Structure 1
Amino acid sequence: MSTWALFIIAVGLSMDAFAVAICKGLSVKRAGIKHCAVTGLYFGGFQGLMPLLGYFLGVQFESLITSVDHWIAFVLLGAIGVNMIRESRSCAECEQLDGSFGPRAMLPLAVATSIDALAVGVTFAFLQVDIVPAVCFIGGITFILSAVGVKVGNIFGARFKSRAELLGGAVLVLMGAKILLEHLGILGA
């Protein structure tokens, strides 16, 4: 997988975390560097950890499904993307968040925003992606975008939340289609 494709997937995966970070920024009167760093560490850390776990799960089953791995990548990325697009139409998420940045508040959010990355990690196993740089890249991109999201939410409000999820979902659907079309020989690698 090219660095550019990995970057696009990392940005697409981080859009859920970015959207929730915007909501966390809305939940405090003044978002400081500590709020941004805590959010970035939780979301970036879990966004890096989950594909690693998914990768190890995928490696266990790789030999059984090599002939259909491109279809699995297409279905997983497409389903994640469609779900993100569907969630971008919902407005209820921000109202449910409180202003806490402690482990009780952040841990469930970090897990919830990174579940999609677990499935992408399974896909990475089938595509034989070099996993250590990939998870570091995904975690780093998510850290940056989440930290920025807190500040954006604090300054601008919820205007960008649904657009971020919509964009992230569209990117993942397109990456799934690209993988399938490349494997079928319709699109050059």
Structure 2
Amino acid sequence: MSLYSLFVIALALSLDAFGVALCIGLNNGIKRGTKVLFASSFGFFQFLFSLVGAYAGFLFNTYIASVPEIIGGALIAIVGGMMLKEGLESKDECPLIKPGMFIVLGISVSIDAMVIGFTALDNISSNLVILQNTLFIGFITLLMSMTAFIIARYLKRITVVSKYADYIGGIILIIFGIKIMFF
């Protein structure tokens, strides 16, 4: 997988975390340490879930059956469609910020990373390359989350902005899934 393709995947996956981080950042009661905790959680779980997905995909392809590129591309496009569906659902309020919520939100924005790891990162034969790719995905998510918190300082009055992150991420994943299936 090229660095460009990996970057596009990482960027698309990180947009869920970006939207949630933007929403959290719009809350005036959130302190800097809490923002770092949320961003770190988002990056860690994106890394962990894409790593688990990559190894699960590798084991599935090795010992059960190979997942053809058309099925893998279709699954990625379906994840994109699910992100679009999430964007269409009402998100008028930010998630409640309670103790331990950074873990719950970190997991919830990272579930799609497992599917992407299973379908897009499973054909890599080197453990080091899988680790590097999944670390890259987690790092991009960390950067995007921190960027969202910085942007939120300036967008405190425009709460509708976080809604569009799901749309953009979903469209990118659908296009990438179609690219895998047909090109």
TM-score scaled by length of structure 1 = 0.85
Match in the other structure for 1:123: 119
More helix by share: 1
1:108 and 2:104 equivalent?
yes
Cα shift at 1:154: 4.2
Which amino acid counterpart does residue 113 of structure 1 have in structure 2?
A: V
Q: Does 1:58 align with 2:57?
A: yes
Distance 1:169 1:86 in 2: 9
1:187 counterpart residue number? none
Within 5 Å, give how 1:10-159 maps onto structure 2. 10-29=10-29, 31-63=30-62, 64-66=64-66, 68-92=67-91, 95=93, 97-100=95-98, 102=99, 104-128=100-124, 130-156=129-155, 157-159=158-160
Q: What SS is found at the alignment partner of 1:50?
A: helix
- Structure 1 unaligned spans of 5+: 183-189
Partners of 2:48 and 2:114 in 1: how far apart?
8
CA distance in 1, matches of 2:159, 2:143: 19
Q: Which amino acid aligns with 1:172?
A: L
Q: Distance in 1 between matches of 2:68 and 2:109?
A: 25
Change in CA separation of 1:159 and 1:151 when aligned onto 2, cut-off 3 Å: farther
Distance between the aligned counterparts of 2:6 and 2:110, measured in 1? 16
RMSD: 1.9
- Counterpart of 2:181 in structure 1 is 180
In structure 1, distance between residues paired with 2:50 and 2:70: 18
Change (3 A) 1:115 1:166: same
On the 8 A contact 1:74/1:176 being kept in 2, the answer is yes
For structure 1, which segment, 117-126 or 16-25, has the greater mean C-alpha deviation from structure 2 after superposition?
117-126
1:69·1:126 contact (CA, 8 Å) conserved in 2?
A: no
SS at match of 2:93: helix
Task: Give 1:127's aligned amino acid.
Answer: N
Percent identity, please: 30
State how far apart, in whole Å, the 2-side matches of 1:21 and 1:114 are: 13
- CA distance in 1 between counterparts of 2:97 and 2:57 reads 37
AA aligned to 2:95 is: L
Q: Given the superposition, is the C-alpha separation of residues 91 and 148 from structure 1 closer, same or farther in structure 2, using an over 3 Å criterion? A: farther
